Amino acid sequence: MLRRIALLFLLISPCLAADSDGQQLLDAAHKLVDIRSAGSKPFQLEADFIALQPDRPQKGHLTLRWSARDLWQMDVNFGTFTLHEVFKGDTSYIVRSAPITPLRVNEMLNLTEIYTDKQNAWQAKKMKHRTEDGINKDCLELHGKEKYSEHRELCINSTTHDILSDHTKAGANFHLKEFADYRAFGEHRYPWQMQSTENADVIVRLQVVSLQEASFESTFFLSPADAIVRRHCDDMKHPVPQKNPDPVYPPAARQARYQGTAVTIVTIETDGSVSDAQLARTAGRSDLDESALNAVKKWTFKPAMCGSEPVTTDVSVEVSFRLN
């Protein structure tokens, strides 16, 4: 999964002042939906998804073969893009048909995890009761430990403890994940319908086709040749920008009063340097895109860390061009 770094040029009842109750509810809901928790039985998940691209919808399919938290394999087909990933121990082996994984594919993969907080970075604070469409909900205001954390609200079905929605907001931008059609799976419950919305636009819809216990031959988890190798750890500290020069605002774009945001994917090496930068989403003009790429290539970071060891990682960086 990619971490995103941004560079920027209903009827509600009174709040309940019971942080501990909210945290207990959050922990219970997380445990209920976490079919990838330690000790869970191996499974195979098949899902169809559709990504609503700026120009046209694009269909895709996900196959996830999960044996244990430290042993799984997945395949994604998305138009002409293919992704094959094997995870063993603490290392991912990735083979894909393009230099980067499309943002919509990453959004889809984030949806399937429902809720994750490996570093316990979020804590439930205020809890509000709501009734919408006949469903009683407990909506938790989540506070992040990091100062730059977004505003976040998680709504949970008061009766079943199903996670219904996860809403984050940073500035004027918001992201909403919604989950429905929960079905029992062992000691868990898992949604068969999922949707991701960015600002006012639905960007990904996913429909689970099948979810069943399975056993796998060891050949499923062979490390593919010529793979991109990335190490992961539950307590990974994400990279932090140290030197991030502003992009040059192209004169022609400034004169035309054109504004936009480019999204780039950068590889950060263990020394904090950027070894690769790829355009993931255009700002709408080629000169803005080129300026954004030129800028992030000059950035330096405090690298990602697994314990005391720096590790190579990939992050999503947004570069916005705004006129005062």
Check residue 119 and give its pLDDT. 65
Residues 213 and 181: their CA atoms lie apart, in Å, by: 19
The residues with which 167 forms a beta bridge, in sequence order, are: 153, 176
Give me the CATH number covering residue 298: 3.30.2420.10
Of 229, 253, 282, the domain-final residue: 229
Q: Are 32 and 162 in contact (CB under 8 A)?
A: yes
Is the same domain home to 192 and 292?
A: no
Q: Report whether pLDDT(93) > 90.
A: yes
Query: Taking residues 60-68, what's their average pLDDT?
Result: 97
Residues 236 and 307: their CA atoms lie apart, in Å, by: 7
Is the same domain home to 122 and 176?
A: yes
Q: What total of structural domains would you count in the chain?
A: 2
Is the same domain home to 215 and 302?
A: no
The residues with which 197 forms a beta bridge, in sequence order, are: 176, 202
Query: Taking residues 16-30, what's their average pLDDT?
Result: 78
Is the same domain home to 268 and 215?
A: no
Check residue 84 and give its pLDDT. 97
Of 204, 229, 254, the domain-final residue: 229
Is the same domain home to 99 and 147?
A: yes
CA dihedral of residues 151, 157, 162, 168 (deg, nearest 10): -10
Q: Report whether pLDDT(54) > 80.
A: no
Q: Report whether pLDDT(209) > 90.
A: yes
Residues 292 and 282: their CA atoms lie apart, in Å, by: 10
Query: Taking residues 185-196, what's their average pLDDT?
Result: 96
Q: Report whether pLDDT(199) > 80.
A: yes
User: In 3D, which of 247, 311, 316, 233 has the Cα closest to residue 285?
Assistant: 247
Query: Taking residues 61-79, what's their average pLDDT?
Result: 96
Is the same domain home to 171 and 273?
A: no
Range(s) of the domain holding residue 36: 3-9+11-229
Is the same domain home to 165 and 291?
A: no
Is the same domain home to 131 and 162?
A: yes
Is the same domain home to 245 and 296?
A: yes
Query: Taking residues 278-292, what's their average pLDDT?
Result: 93
Alpha helices in the chain (DSSP H): 19-33, 103-112, 251-255, 286-296
Is the same domain home to 265 and 143?
A: no
Give me the CATH number covering residue 17: 2.50.20.10
